């Protein structure tokens, strides 16, 4: 039984290594997208976390957040979101300026990307990162998202505000926003 498990584990690592190598070696954007989507899905399974850390897939996902290809960003952030539950991966993300990279994805036109960004930020909250993740701009952004027509975005923003911010912070920024129409902190012209 132990030998079978050990063999399965080595097969798993070998397969994931093949995916990473394929991503690095191919010139086809479509093939890269497919591999990246597969790696993001594998990051969801805790059995794969150690292998993905060994293969430095967290860094690969972080690199995707600055790509122009929206699929790269979406799949990279989806994978990062899945890995951000692991304490070691959280450290890698935080040490790699991951908060600002993830925060930049909040302005994406793709709802899946924005949802993954919010969830990743929630997973990254720690005593040392809390002030950066719940700063004024972030709370105001979440307050705007909490008014979204999309139920998924509205609900996740509400959870962020409830779980990551104090009632005082939310009340303070709500009051500051009253009467202002803003888009990412920029006042819109009045009609």
Task: Per residue of the chain (191 residues), give pLDDT as tens.
Answer: 334 445 477 899 999 999 999 999 999 999 999 999 999 999 999 999 999 999 999 999 999 999 999 999 999 999 999 999 999 999 999 999 999 999 999 999 999 999 999 999 999 999 999 999 999 999 999 999 999 999 999 999 999 999 999 999 898 888 887 765 555 554 444 44
Q: Does pTM top 0.85 for this prediction? A: yes
List CB contacts of 145: < 8 A, sequence separation 6 or more: 114, 118, 153, 154, 156, 157
The alpha carbon of 91 is separated from its chain's Cα centroid by a whole number of angstroms, namely 14
**Predicted pLDDT of residue 177:** 79
CATH class name, domain 1-133: mainly alpha
**Predicted pLDDT of residue 126:** 94
**Predicted pLDDT of residue 10:** 85
**Predicted pLDDT of residue 7:** 47
Cα–Cα separations (whole angstroms), residue 128 to 122, 134, 161 = 13, 12, 18
**Predicted pLDDT of residue 2:** 39
**Predicted pLDDT of residue 176:** 81
**Predicted pLDDT of residue 1:** 37
d(CA 177, CA 169): 12
Answer whether 100's CB lies under 8 Å from 117's CB: no
């Amino acid at each position: 039984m132990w030998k079978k498990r050990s063999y399965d584990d080595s097969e798993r690592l070998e397969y994931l290594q093949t995916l990473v190598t394929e991503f690095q070696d191919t010139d086809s954007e479509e093939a890269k997208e497919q591999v990246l989507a597969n790696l993001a899905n594998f990051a969801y399974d805790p059995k794969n976390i150690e292998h993905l850390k060994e293969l430095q897939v967290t860094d690969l996902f972080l690199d995707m957040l600055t790509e122009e290809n929206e699929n790269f960003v979406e799949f990279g952030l989806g994978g990062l979101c899945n890995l951000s539950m692991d304490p070691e991966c959280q450290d890698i993300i935080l040490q790699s300026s991951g908060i600002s990279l993830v925060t930049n994805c909040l302005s994406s036109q793709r709802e899946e990307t924005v949802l993954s960004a919010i969830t990743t930020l929630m997973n990254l909250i720690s005593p040392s990162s809390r002030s950066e993740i719940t700063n004024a701009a972030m709370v105001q952004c979440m307050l705007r998202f909490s008014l979204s027509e999309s139920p998924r975005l509205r609900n996740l923003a509400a959870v962020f505000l409830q779980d990551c911010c104090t009632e005082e912070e939310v009340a303070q920024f709500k009051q500051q926003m009253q009467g202002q129409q803003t888009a990412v902190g920029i006042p819109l012209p009045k009609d």
